[in-house]
């Protein structure tokens, strides 16, 4: 069953078309990676799907609700972990988690319970009382995803989660994301091909606002006749091999 | 509920920054004691009440609210640039939750800041009365004006630009043109005319009138402050809502 059905989704800024007639189905529990060069339209797509910006044309239906006609219902089912860490710097880890839980309607008691559960799941127990501005980049990213999950979303958007992280922090975060597979539908944008290979069920490659190819790693390699995903990506994106 | 949760977060975010505490609370008190030293240095036979506590206390209390433009602007701009606001925009929070969530803590802080300034002034010799409470209420539209200016800048600019405009520029303009640092009659001319057009001087004069019990003297100044506050707050709400709807994402 489809968690997300995207039909003709388009976003224009003046004469610039950031996303051009996107059509795509993403299944429930799937981890779908959106790949693309800078400016390919990945973040704009995520922003439209998470009701942050309105499409110029087209629509997307998320678990039965349209982003155009019923954005408030969509917002109850989704959450987002933005490109930047997006945490409140002078609040503690626990306060950040409880804040988001409360905003999504959880009682004070449930917020505390959810915060404890998520902090354990993401290895944040030892830093619960620390202000988030004192945490390492990797810890902040983990907190960011934990904050996105505390509302128990059915669909989670993760925008470039490992930018600027060292190898160890990246691998730890991958492990956290892997835990979520099949439980939550995840749309992940990234520049890192090894991240896609490690995590994604299917991949969509965007080029100049258009969805140029969709498939599993093996399918994309097969479609392009390339030797590996990187070559397949370069070939689909119109680069030089 | 969401509004109050967000307001609580904003309160913590502001109060846990020691620089905010210094400018919000410490600087008006420093200014108050400096004026008191100047006043003490003026010989009694000069018969000059320019820096008397009855005049400087309401002025400093009104001027102190200028820092709330910096607080609100920086908070909003940082929330935007760190994508914290993007996270919240994707939540079921409404525009009203955001606007009041940002504004209410600052207005409460303005009332507390004004109260502390008048209490400190009382230690120096300002007689406290019901008029003092009225003066604190009279300060609130001035605080709304500055919060509106801050939210407007925070909606449109990054935190560095907000720091420059709401910190250095606005506090200087408010300081000079309010007549708090130097009485406007000493300068006169075009400077005084410009000060009369701007709201800062009127905010101070309304507070002074309240403290002195000159109730008929409050409204002419207060009305100007109210008008400015309404315009800037409306502009801030408009700019914020546009940002929220993704027009300039």
Interface touch A102/B2, C-beta < 8 Å: yes
Confidence of residue B25 (pLDDT cuts 50, 70, 90): confident
Which residues of A make CB contacts under 8 Å with B? 47, 50-54, 72, 75-76, 78-91, 95, 99-100, 102-105, 131, 147-148, 151
A102 contact residues in B (CB cutoff 8 A): 1-2, 5
pLDDT digits (tens, 9 = 90+) for B50-99: 788 998 999 999 999 999 999 999 999 999 999 999 999 999 999 999 99
* Interface mutation vs chain A, best among B75, B86, B87, most A CBs within 10 Å: B87
Would the ipTM clear 0.90, i.e. be above it?
no
Interface test with B, best of A73, A86, A95, A132 (most B CBs within 10 A): A86
Domain boundaries, chain B: 2-248
Q: Which tens digits make up the pLDDT trace of B107-129? A: 999 999 999 999 999 999 999 99
> What is the least distance, in Å, from the CA of A96 to any CA of chain B?
9
b/e sequence A142-181, b meaning 16+ C-beta within 10 Å: bbbbbbbbbbebbbbbbbbbbeebeeebbebbbebbeebe
> Where does the pLDDT of residue A241 fall: very low under 50, low under 70, confident under 90, or very high at 90 and above?
low
**Closest alpha carbon to B117 in B128, B106, B102:** B128
Residues of A in contact with B88 (CB under 8 A): 103
Largest CA distance in chain A: 56
Nearest by CB to B82, which of A85, A105, A147? A85
pLDDT for res B247: 52
From residue A129, alpha-carbon distances to A96, A115, A119, A135 in Å are 10, 12, 11, 11
Residue of A nearest to B75 (CA): A88
d(CA B201, CA A89): 36
Judge whether residue B47 has pLDDT over 90: no
Q: Where are the beta strands (DSSP E) in chain A?
A: 2-13, 16-27, 31-36, 57-62, 65-66, 78-81, 155-159, 185-190, 202-207, 210-215
Interval A66-121: pLDDT, tens: 999 999 999 999 999 998 889 999 999 999 999 999 999 999 999 999 999 999 98
Q: Which residues of B touch A148 (CB under 8 A)?
A: 87
Q: Give me the percent of chain A exceeding a pLDDT of 90.
A: 71
Summarised one tens digit per residue, pLDDT across range A3-52 is: 999 999 999 999 999 999 999 999 999 999 999 988 899 989 999 999 99
Judge: A103–B6 Cβ closer than 8 Å, yes or no. yes
**Pairwise CB contact (< 8 Å): B13 & A148:** no
């Amino acid at each position: 069953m489809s968690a997300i059905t995207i039909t003709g989704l388009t976003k224009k800024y003046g004469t610039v078309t950031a996303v051009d007639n996107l059509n795509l189905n993403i299944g429930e529990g799937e981890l779908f990676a959106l790949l693309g060069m800078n400016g390919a339209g990945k973040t704009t797509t995520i922003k439209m799907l998470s009701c942050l910006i309105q499409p110029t044309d087209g629509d997307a239906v998320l678990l039965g609700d349209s982003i155009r006609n019923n954005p408030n219902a969509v917002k109850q089912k989704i959450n987002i972990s933005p490109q930047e860490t997006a945490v409140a710097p002078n609040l503690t880890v626990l306060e950040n988690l409880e804040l988001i839980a409360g905003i999504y309607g959880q009682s004070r008691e449930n917020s505390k319970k959810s915060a404890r559960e998520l902090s354990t799941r993401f290895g944040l127990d030892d830093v619960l009382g620390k202000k988030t501005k004192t945490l390492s980049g990797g810890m902040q990213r983990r907190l960011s995803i934990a904050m996105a999950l505390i509302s128990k979303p059915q669909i989670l958007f993760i925008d470039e989660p490992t930018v600027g992280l060292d190898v160890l922090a990246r691998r730890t975060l991958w492990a956290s994301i892997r835990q979520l597979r099949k439980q939550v539908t995840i749309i992940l944008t990234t520049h890192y091909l090894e991240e896609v290979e490690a995590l994604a069920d299917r991949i969509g490659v965007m080029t100049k606002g258009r969805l140029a190819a969709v498939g599993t790693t093996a399918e994309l390699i097969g479609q392009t006749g390339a030797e590996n995903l990187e070559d397949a990506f370069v070939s689909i994106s119109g680069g030089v091999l | 509920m969401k509004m109050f949760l967000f307001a609580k977060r904003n309160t913590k975010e502001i109060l846990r920054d020691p620089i905010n505490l210094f400018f919000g609370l410490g600087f008006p008190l420093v200014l108050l004691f400096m004026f008191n030293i100047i006043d003490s240095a003026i010989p009694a036979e000069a018969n000059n009440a320019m820096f008397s506590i009855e005049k400087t206390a309401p002025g400093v209390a009104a001027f102190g609210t200028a820092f709330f433009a910096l607080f609100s602007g920086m908070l909003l701009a940082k929330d935007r640039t760190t994508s914290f606001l993007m996270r919240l925009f994707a939540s079921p929070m409404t525009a009203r939750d955001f606007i009041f969530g940002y504004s209410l803590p600052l207005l409460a802080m303005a009332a507390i800041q004004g109260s502390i300034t008048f209490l400190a002034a009382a230690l120096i010799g300002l007689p406290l009365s019901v008029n003092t409470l009225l003066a604190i209420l009279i300060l609130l539209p001035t605080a709304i004006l500055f919060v509106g200016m801050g939210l407007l800048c925070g909606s449109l600019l990054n935190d560095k630009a907000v720091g420059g405009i709401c910190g250095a520029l606005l506090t200087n303009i408010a300081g000079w043109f309010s007549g708090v640092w130097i009485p406007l009659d000493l300068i006169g001319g075009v400077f005084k005319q410009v000060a009369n057009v701007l709201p800062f001087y009127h905010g101070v004069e309304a507070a002074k009138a309240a403290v002195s019990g000159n109730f008929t003297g409050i409204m002419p100044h207060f009305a100007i402050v109210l008008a400015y506050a309404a315009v800037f707050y409306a502009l801030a709400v408009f700019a914020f809502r546009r940002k929220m709807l993704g027009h300039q994402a």
